[in-house]
Structure formats: C-alpha cells, structure tokens
Amino acid sequence: MPPDLPLTLFVDSACPLCAREIRWLERTADPARLLLVDVSATDFSCAGLGKDLSQLRRRLHARSASGVWLTGVDATYWSWRLAGHGTWAAPLGWKPLRPLLRLAYTLFATLRPHLEWLPHPEGASRCGAQCGIRQKPPAS
C-alpha cells in the first residue's frame, strides 16, 4: 500500500555513496510527493521525530505524511517510485526477493561507514567522522 504523501526521506549527504543516490533522486523528485531532508546539515534537528540522529544514520528512514515510518529496503523502494524511478524500484517490490534484499541491505548498512574512501561526488569530506557511526581509534 502506498504511503501517504508527501514521503519525507531522511538522507545523509555526508556519505559519498548516499550523496550519489540523493543527486539521482533530486533530479526527478516532485516535492509534493517526496521531500529529501539532510540529516548531516548543521541545522537539522531530530526534535519531534521520535528517532535520534544515530538511528537515522544507521539505516535509511522515510516517514509518510501520516507519520508511518519506512526503513531500509522499504524506504528505498518508495522513494525511488515516488521520484519516478519505478523501473529501478520494481525488483525491490518482488516478494520472493524481499528476504534476500533485506539481508543485503543489512549488510550494506553495516559496511557503509567503512566506505569513506569513496570519493564524494562534490569533493566534500567523506563519511567517517561526519557519520558518527564509526569512531576511529585515537592515534597512538
């Protein structure tokens, strides 16, 4: 069942991999259907969301206009569909693939903080310290 619109997608533009997807969604997303909110922005606040920043950064989160939360593969599926990328989203909705896709997303979410070596599409700083997910040990 489609979420109530607009769907608000909480994105992390400090992550190089996420920034690429955000740019892809921004090109076609209609704000009446899909709003993108950057959790790495200095003025972002979690107040009133019922989620803290570490939760929003650990997994992709989206919230419907009625307050229903979608995470991981479900957030990806609906954000892609609402941005007009239904062809790419379609396999994410195939029921036989859902368990495998959820497992793959869990693996991706675990590995994402370790992908800081990827170049950011805008040359900005990489994920790592900005993500707050992985803390680097102090130099000895």
- Measured between alpha carbons, how far is 25 from 76 in angstroms, rounded to an integer? 11
Q: Dump strand ranges (E) for 41-126.
A: 61-63, 69-71
In a domain, 2, yes or no: no
Bridge partners of residue 61, in order along the sequence: 10, 71
Residue 17 lies in a domain: yes
Q: How many CB atoms lie within 10 A of CB 47?
A: 6
Task: Determine contact, residues 44/52, Cβ cutoff 8 Å.
Answer: no
Averaged pLDDT for residues 20-36: 93
In a domain, 126, yes or no: yes
Instruction: Quickly tell me which residue has 């959820």 as its tokens.
Output: 102
Is the predicted pLDDT of residue 82 greater than 50, yes or no? yes
Domain of residue 66 covers 7-130
Residue 137 lies in a domain: no
As a whole number of Å, the end-to-end CA separation of the chain is 53
Token pair recorded at residue 105: 């997303």
Greater model confidence, 32 or 121:
32
The pLDDT tens digits of the residues spanning 97-132 come to: 999 999 999 998 888 777 666 665 665 444 444 444
Residue 68 lies in a domain: yes
The pLDDT of 49-64, averaged and rounded, is 94
Classify residue 110: in a domain, yes or no.
yes
Report yes or no on 25 lying in a domain.
Answer: yes
Domain count, the chain: 1
**Is 86 a domain residue?**
yes
